[in-house]
Each structure stands twice: as structure tokens, then as C-alpha cells.
């Protein structure tokens, strides 16, 4: 089974504590992109579960967190019945590991040592070989399906460049084996500036909301009890200016709340823009009242989301995974077979 359309591929990370920044900044944009582009492209959404333990984790929770990813995407609106959208677990397609090994043998030790992410994360304590060469596995994830477009954040651009390098190197040595993904600049042009949205921490609105923040007081997790989320918003840091307006520079806390309010309203199906929300509350001088409006609507959003999550059709998810994994094994094995022949493993 060969995909008839060009492929857009993106990893959907196994992760149990997703916050509203991840949801509005990463998950929804992927789902919207998948819906919008699936006429013209095959959309590969894979759960990179082999990447989940390049650093130590609690393995007793991995299995459930993998499925939870699929549940969260489904609750967020991923259409499971769209045949151009493929949802699969990396570990269920053995070709990923096999191709990664072959590519490993054409990758320089020095080349991997220069990856800045390894230098950052690997310098702390005793890094695993898995962490060291995960960019090679990532290259295999992309090249197996001949993906043209892969949305990457800044932390992944070097790995995408490596993917292009190794693909071109193999193509030079063995003839046309791989489709080379587009360069980073063209990726950005294709996906638009998706790095725009940054929900800020509620306690310290100078920095972005981040799950690795110690206290958790400034973060709204999708799993938060709506009541405690309400409290977090009510105690969000504001300013001494005393007038609601969208001014990121001087009123980052209030501006952040205006953004959050707009996003939860959009999620509820209302067609509002940030500008409209900002106009609606412009000049309001009682921050407590404004916060209560935001807190109420965020609590409502969480309640809705949690209801949707509880109601996802587990069987439909299992069936989607099974059918995508069957199809993607066929695609991936075709590429792997070609590579195995090229390197002399098969006739
Ligand atoms: P960590 O603190 O471990 O880096 P994180 O909260 O930054 O965690 P990631 O797992 O690094 O989350 O990011 C997952 C996705 O969510 C990325 O695409 C990232 O750009 C996006 N994202 C993370 N934080 C925010 C935020 N505050 N606002 C919007 N998008 C965000
Ligand atoms: Mg991060």
C-alpha cells in the first residue's frame, strides 16, 4: 500500500500532564491542520512511544499514557473516521527500529555529538545511548513514509536537518532510496508561523506556562479539577494599573487572561477573536470581576473537555490504531525492503 498523496507527518507525544498551553498551542493546531490538509495530503500522526524512555520514566505508566494520547486527541476532535489520517504507535511498526539501526551505521559519532539537544540534556548525569542517537530514530520515523512536511519547533530543526543529510547521503551512495523532506524554511512557510501562541504562567506571566515548573500553581492542566483551576485563575498575578486592556508589555497577566478567555470561547464553538474579547472588557477596573468571568469559563471548558475525554469511544480508538498500524506497516516495510536490498541484506 503506497500513499497516493504527499505525506505530512508529526509525532504526538506520550504525555500525561498536558496543560492548556500544550492543548491550544500544539494539539488543536495539529488537529486543525490534519482536518484542513487531509484532502491533499496523507496525514501521519504517530505516537513516538519508543522515544518515551530515552530518559528514565515510570514504565508501569507508559502503556496507559500511550493510549491516553490517542484519547486526548480524540476528545479534542481528531476525526477517527477520516481515511487520510493515520494514527499509529511507532513501536507497533518494527521497521522504525530496523531502519534506525541501518541508518546508525551510516551516521558519524561526531555528527551525533554535535546535536545541541543532546549537549543540553545529555550533559546532565549518565545519558543513555538511546538519548544520544534518537535523532537517527527520528530520521527513520520520517523517511519510512517519505514524508515531505514535518512541523518542527526550534528544538527539532537540527534533527530535521540531520534527517535531510542522512537521506541525501544514502541516496548518493545507493541511488534514490528516500524522499527528502523539505528544508526547515519551507516547513515554516508551509505551516505558517505556528510558534506564535504562548500561554503564560499564571503566577509569573513573564514566562510561558511549562509543565516542568515546580509548584504547578501557575499551570492549568487538562486534568485539573475545575474548582481548583477556578482558584488558580482567581489568584493569577495581575498588575497595579487597574484597567483591563490587552498590553502584553505592561500588563502581561491580564493580557494572558484575555488570550485564555478567547481560546476557551473558541473551543466552545464561538467565533470570537482576541481583539473582540479585549474590546468587550476594555477598561473594566475590577480585576476580581474580570478574573471570575475567566475562571468560570475555564472551569466550564475543563468540565466539557473532561466529559468528552470520559466519553471517547475506546473501541473506535483501538480499531483506528489497529487499521492504521496495518496500513503503515505495509508502507514502512516497502521502504525498509528497498533499503535492505540496497545495503545487500536482500537480493
Ligand atoms: P517542558 O517544560 O518539559 O518543556 P512544556 O510544557 O514546555 O514542557 P512540551 O512538551 O515541551 O511542553 O511542548 C509540547 C508542545 O506544546 C510544543 O509544541 C510546545 O511548543 C507547546 N507548548 C508548550 N508550552 C506552551 C505554552 N505555554 N503555550 C503554547 N504552546 C506551548
Ligand atoms: Mg517545552
Domain residues of the chain, as ranges? 7-197+314-342, 226-309
Integer Cα distance of 282 and 337 in angstroms? 62
Closest CA to ligand 1's atom 11: 210
Alpha-carbon distance of 136 to 146, in angstroms, equals 15
pTM confidence score: 0.90
Please name which ligand lies nearest the alpha carbon of 21: 1
Q: Which residues, judged by CB distance below 6 Å to any ligand atom, belong to the binding site of ligand 1?
A: 21-22, 25-26, 153, 197-199, 208-212
**For residue 127, how far is its CA from the centre of ligand 2 (angstroms)?**
19
For residue 171, CA distances in Å to 59, 165, 186, 268, 335 come to 38, 10, 21, 48, 13
pLDDT (average), residues 277-291: 97
Please give the average per-residue pLDDT across 275-282, as a whole number: 98
Looking from the CA of residue 15, the nearest atom of ligand 1 is: 10
Ligand 2 centroid to Cα of residue 194, in Å, is 15
- Tell me: pLDDT of 192 over 90: no
Domains 7-197+314-342 and 226-309 equal at CATH topology level: no
Angle (nearest 5°) at CA 324 between 328 and 334:
10
pLDDT interval class at 186 (50, 70, 90): very high
Poorest-pLDDT segment among 31-40, 42-51, 117-126, 300-309: 117-126
Considering the domain delimited by 226-309, tell me its CATH architecture. Answer: Orthogonal Bundle (1.10)
CATH ID of 7-197+314-342, from 3.40.50.620, 1.20.1260.10, 3.20.20.120, 3.40.50.261: 3.40.50.620
Give the residue numbers annotated as catalytic, written as ranges. Answer: 121, 208, 211
Distance CA 297, CA 302 (A): 9
Strand-by-strand arrangement of the 42-47 sheet: 85-89, 42-47, 7-11, 147-149
- CA 254 from centre of chain: 27
Please say if the pLDDT value at position 7 is more than 80. Answer: yes
Length of the chain, please? Answer: 347
Q: What's the pLDDT tens digit per position in 251-268?
A: 999 999 999 999 999 999
Residue 15 pLDDT greater than 80, yes or no: no
Q: Is 1 exposed, middle or buried (0-12, 13-18, 19+ CB in 10 A)?
A: exposed
Q: What is the pLDDT of residue 291?
A: 98
Helix (H, G, I), strand (E, B) or coil at 41: coil
Quick one: DSSP state of residue 195?
T
pLDDT in tens, 70-85: 999 999 999 999 999 9
* Residue 222 contacts residue 21 (beta carbons within 8 Å): no
CA-CA distance, 264 to 61, in Å (whole number)? 30
Cell numbers of 54, please? 530515552
Question: Ligand 1 mean position to 284 CA, how many Å?
Answer: 31
Amino acid at each position: 500500500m503506497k500513499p497516493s498523496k504527499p505525506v505530512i507527518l508529526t509525532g504526538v507525544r506520550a504525555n500525561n500532564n498536558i496543560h492548556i498551553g500544550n492543548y491550544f498551542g500544539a494539539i488543536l493546531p495539529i488537529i486543525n491542520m490534519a482536518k484542513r490538509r487531509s484532502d491533499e495530503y496523507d496525514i501521519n500522526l504517530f505516537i513516538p512511544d519508543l522515544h518515551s524512555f530515552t530518559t528514565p520514566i515510570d514504565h508501569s505508566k507508559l502503556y496507559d499514557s500511550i493510549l491516553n494520547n490517542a484519547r486526548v486527541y480524540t476528545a479534542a476532535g481528531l476525526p477517527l473516521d477520516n481515511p487520510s489520517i493515520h494514527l499509529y504507535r511507532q513501536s507497533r511498526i518494527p521497521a522504525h527500529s530496523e531502519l534506525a539501526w541501518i541508518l546508525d551505521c551510516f551516521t558519524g559519532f561526531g555528527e551525533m555529538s554535535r546535536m545541541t539537544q543532546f549537549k543540553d540534556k545529555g550533559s546532565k548525569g549518565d545519558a543513555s545511548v538511546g538519548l544520544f542517537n534518537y535523532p537517527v530514530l527520528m530520521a527513520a520515523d520520517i523517511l519510512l513514509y517519505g514524508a515531505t512536511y514535518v512541523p518542527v519547533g526550534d528544538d527539532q530543526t537540527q534533527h530535521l536537518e540531520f534527517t535531510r543529510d542522512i537521506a541525501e547521503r544514502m541516496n548518493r551512495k545507493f541511488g534514490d532510496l528516500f524522499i527528502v523532506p523539505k528544508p526547515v524554511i519551507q516547513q515554516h512557510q508551509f505551516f505558517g508561523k505556528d510558534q506564535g501562541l504562548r500561554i503564560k504562567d499564571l503566577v509569573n506571566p513573564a514566562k510561558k506556562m511549562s509543565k516542568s515548573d515546580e509548584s504547578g500553581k501557575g499551570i492549568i492542566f487538562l486534568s485539573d479539577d475545575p474548582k481548583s483551576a477556578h482558584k488558580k485563575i482567581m489568584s493569577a498575578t495581575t498588575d497595579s494599573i487597574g484597567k483591563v486592556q490587552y498590553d502584553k508589555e505592561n500588563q502581561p497577566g491580564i493580557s494572558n487572561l484575555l488570550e485564555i478567555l478567547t481560546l476557551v470561547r473558541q473551543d466552545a464553538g464561538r467565533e470570537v477573536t482576541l481583539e473582540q474579547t479585549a474590546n468587550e472588557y476594555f477598561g473594566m477596573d475590577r480585576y476580581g470581576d474580570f478574573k471570575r468571568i475567566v475562571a468560570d469559563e475555564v472551569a466550564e471548558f475543563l468540565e466539557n473537555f473532561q466529559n468528552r475525554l470520559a466519553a471517547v469511544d475506546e473501541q473506535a480508538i483501538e480499531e483506528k490504531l489497529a487499521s492504521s498500524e496495518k496500513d503503515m506497516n505495509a508502507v514502512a516495510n516497502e521502504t525498509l525492503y528497498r533499503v535492505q536490498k540496497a545495503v545487500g541484506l536482500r537480493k
